[in-house]
Amino acid sequence: MPWIEATLRGQRVLARAHADGSLATEGGRVEIRYKPNDGRVYRASPRNLERAPGGPLLPDETCAALGQKPPAGSPPSAAADASRPASSVRGVPAGRRPSSAAQTAGTATSRAWVAYTDGACSGNPGPAGCGVVLVAPDGKMHEGQEYLGEATNNVAELTGILRAIEWTPADAGALVVHTDSQYAIGVLQRGWKAKANQELVSRTKRAVEDRRARLVYVPGHQGVALNERADELAREAVQTHQTRIVDA
């Protein structure tokens, strides 16, 4: 049974959910976790839980069983100190399918591809990179990253969105791209005037329009699993100067 990110009296938690994203109650209460790697189980009234907007469904193994640590191969955000070396940039082993990860709030069809993108910059401008996590309609995840050389954070954010679109199969149906960049959403879909990066903005905007992609804002560094993973990939690209293209 999957998990969703929710808020309980102002505190972020993970709560049990059904495949359609609704809270899963047992005896009128919902199982929650304050920390995915804690192993302690709590119960809360569903009326006290508020689902995080735009948050994805997370696979069952996101949280450890009672008294246990998360199993090997769990999503990287399942443990507070999780990290991966560059050699595992593909992340999830081939064929692994987190069945609920592809479903997000607001996704209109089960055939939709879902992307999480992020940019990183050491200095602004400075060495920059972007990270992309793509989730196919069947739940299979693909990861990629690109080292961009000297660039700004905004360039990294825009490039991440552009690569997510370019790396999604051409015959894919709907595409929902999650980003924590209000700037990128503003210049691409809200009519903000781009004072810089005009060529990149124009190219990315055309890609968004051509693929009819929908951009969704997700708060950064707030424990959203796949957003955190995209951030890790972006920072890894900066540190290693490596580019790994998604082969979906």
For residue 56, give every residue at least 6 positions away whose Cβ sits within 8 Å of its Cβ, in sequence order, or none: 4, 100, 101, 103, 104, 105, 114, 224, 225, 226
Catalytic residue among 50, 150, 209, 221: 221
Task: Name the nearest CA neighbour of 116 among 132, 137, 92, 138.
Answer: 132
Quickly tell me which residue has 């595409």 as its tokens: 175
Strand, helix or coil for residue 3: strand
Determine how many CB atoms are found less than 10 A away from the CB of residue 136: 19
Catalytic option among 91, 119, 131, 160: 119
Question: Is 247 one of the catalytic residues?
Answer: no
3-class DSSP assignment, residue 94 = coil
Residue 179 confidence (pLDDT): 95
Under CATH, what is the fold of the domain 83-240? Nucleotidyltransferase; domain 5 (3.30.420)
* Distance separating alpha carbons of residues 179 and 217, to the nearest angstrom: 5
Domain boundaries, the chain: 3-62, 83-240
| CA–CA distances in Å: residue 225 to residues 43, 63, 77, 149 | 22, 12, 5, 27
Pairing relationship of beta strands 42-44 and 49-51 according to DSSP bridges: unpaired
Contact between 104 and 57 (Cβ < 8 Å)? yes
Catalytic hit among 61, 143, 228, 231: 231
For 114, the enclosing helix (H) or strand (E) is strand 113-121
Active site residue 241: no
Q: Give pTM, 2 decimals.
A: 0.59
Q: 3-62 has which CATH code?
A: 2.30.30
The tens-digit pLDDT sequence of the chain (248 residues) is 788 888 887 777 888 888 777 888 888 888 888 777 766 778 888 888 887 766 778 887 777 765 544 444 433 332 232 223 322 333 333 333 333 333 333 333 447 899 999 999 998 899 999 999 999 988 899 999 999 999 999 999 999 999 999 999 998 888 999 999 999 999 999 999 999 999 999 999 999 999 999 999 998 888 888 999 999 999 999 999 999 998 87
Q: Which pLDDT score is estimated for 66?
A: 55
Q: Is 231 a catalytic residue?
A: yes
Annotated catalytic residue: which of 143, 180, 232, 236?
A: 180
Residue among 5, 61, 118, 146 flagged as catalytic:
118
Residue 168's SS3 state is: coil
